[in-house]
Amino acid sequence: MNAPVPSCNAIPRHDWTRDELQSLFSLPFPELIYRAQSIHRAHFDPTEVQISTLLSIKTGGCPEDCAYCPQSASYDTGVKAAKLMDVDAVLADARAARDAGATRFCMGAAWRSPKDKDLGHICEMIEGVKALGMESCVTLGMLTETQAQRLKSSGLDYYNHNIDTSPEFYGEIITTRTYQDRLDTLAAVRDAGIHVCCGGIVGMGETVADRVGMLHTLATMPVHPESVPINMLMQVEGTPVSKGQTLDPIEFVRTIAVARIAMPKSMVRLSAGRELMSAETQALCFLAGANSIFQGPKLLTTPNPAADEDHHLFERLGMNAMAL
């Protein structure tokens, strides 16, 4: 028998049970969206969307075996490996992103973890992004406490490190580092005083119970991640999960809605996968409480809608970019 549907209120809770989250997933769609939208409005202007732009500052050749990832050296995906970019080239891209309306610049590196000798360059990039008046975010793999503190000292606002899926399904997707490794990095980031950006991917062949398990891990953290990216798998040929069935968009929207209800004050990001979504699916995601996107024609290595397309979508929906 399903657990009773929990009463939904806008005060963050950290004691969610899996049964409660499962019962939200099972609600009739109009009921689920109504609850998610009501909670969304308690903390946010429902017409505003935060805009981030991504840049791959070190591409490909990664020693990890994440089954979804075009940048893993374990799979032949056609992604050309490249060295860590120069600071000036990164900052030129950040300036262009700011001029196109982004308020946060997210720099991603295909590393298992950063080497201390590379961190100096990364800190310069963070300082440069801050000097442009933008928020800074990096995703560099696993971090030690000392590395997290060093990033904090350079002014880093957010660190992205995803749990990706449920603890149970995780082993099907990654074998080269554990769920606990990820939680340890997240704790180091939190302890260093950096905002946490943490979410996952749907559409990798996981069950609804796995989506529940993923959101349960996030929503029972002592502090909810300030930013929760929900990625729809970008299927890339050569990766082990590239041939699976694509996820029903309605199931994706449900995942966004449950994330919004379970973490009322977090920014929920409609992340990878917009390139494959209709305007209508994206509009449903915003109704379900998503309030952040990546802008620009490329994510790290895969395509994303051009800024013009997003401006047109926002115009059609009467929505606006969120100011800092």
Among the listed residues 8, 35, 104, 106, the single catalytic one is 106
Tell me, what amino acid is at 23? S
CA-to-CA dists, residue 54 to 10, 148, 191, angstroms: 30, 20, 25
Among the listed residues 8, 69, 123, 198, the single catalytic one is 69
Residue 140 touching ligand SF4 (CB under 6 A): no
Which string of DSSP letters, residue by residue, matches 5-24? PPPP-SS--S---HHHHHHH
Number of H helices, E strands in the chain: 11, 10
8: annotated active-site residue: no
**Contact assessment for residue 233 and residue 241, using Cβ atoms and an 8 Å cutoff:** yes
Window 55-84: residues binding ligand SF4 (CB under 6 A): 62, 64, 66, 69, 71-72
What x/- string results for residues 193 through 222 when contact with ligand SAM is judged by CB under 6 A? --------x---------------------
Window 80-139: residues binding ligand SF4 (CB under 6 A): 110
DSSP letter at 204 equals S
Closest CA to 204 of 162, 157, 152: 162
What does the alpha-carbon distance between residue 291 and residue 230 come to, in Å, rounded to a whole number?
11
Residue 110 touching ligand SAM (CB under 6 A): yes
Nearer to ligand SAM, 201 or 215 (CB): 201
Return the structure tokens found at 289: 């409480």
**Contact assessment for residue 300 and residue 59, using Cβ atoms and an 8 Å cutoff:** yes
What does the alpha-carbon distance between residue 314 and residue 207 come to, in Å, rounded to a whole number?
32
**Other CB atoms within 10 A of residue 230 CB:** 28
269: annotated active-site residue: yes
What x/- string results for residues 288 through 307 when contact with ligand DTB is judged by CB under 6 A? -----------xxxx-----
Q: Which does residue 161 bind out of ligand SAM, ligand SF4, ligand DTB, none, counting CB within 5 to 8 angstroms by kind?
A: ligand SAM
Q: Write down the least CB distance from residue 9 to ligand SAM, Å.
A: 30
Q: Which does residue 103 bind out of ligand DTB, ligand SF4, ligand SAM, none, counting CB within 5 to 8 angstroms by kind?
A: none
Q: Write down the least CB distance from residue 185 to ligand SAM, Å.
A: 8
Q: Write down the least CB distance from residue 229 to ligand DTB, Å.
A: 3
Residue 52 touching ligand SAM (CB under 6 A): no
How many residues are given for the chain?
A: 324
34 SS3 class: helix
Q: Which does residue 164 bind out of ligand DTB, ligand SF4, ligand SAM, none, counting CB within 5 to 8 angstroms by kind?
A: ligand SAM
197: annotated active-site residue: yes
End-to-end distance of the chain based on CA atoms, in angstroms? Answer: 45
13: annotated active-site residue: no
Which residues of the shown chain bind ligand SAM in the complex (CB under 6 A)? 68-69, 71, 108, 110-111, 139, 141, 161-162, 164, 201, 231, 233-234, 236, 272, 300
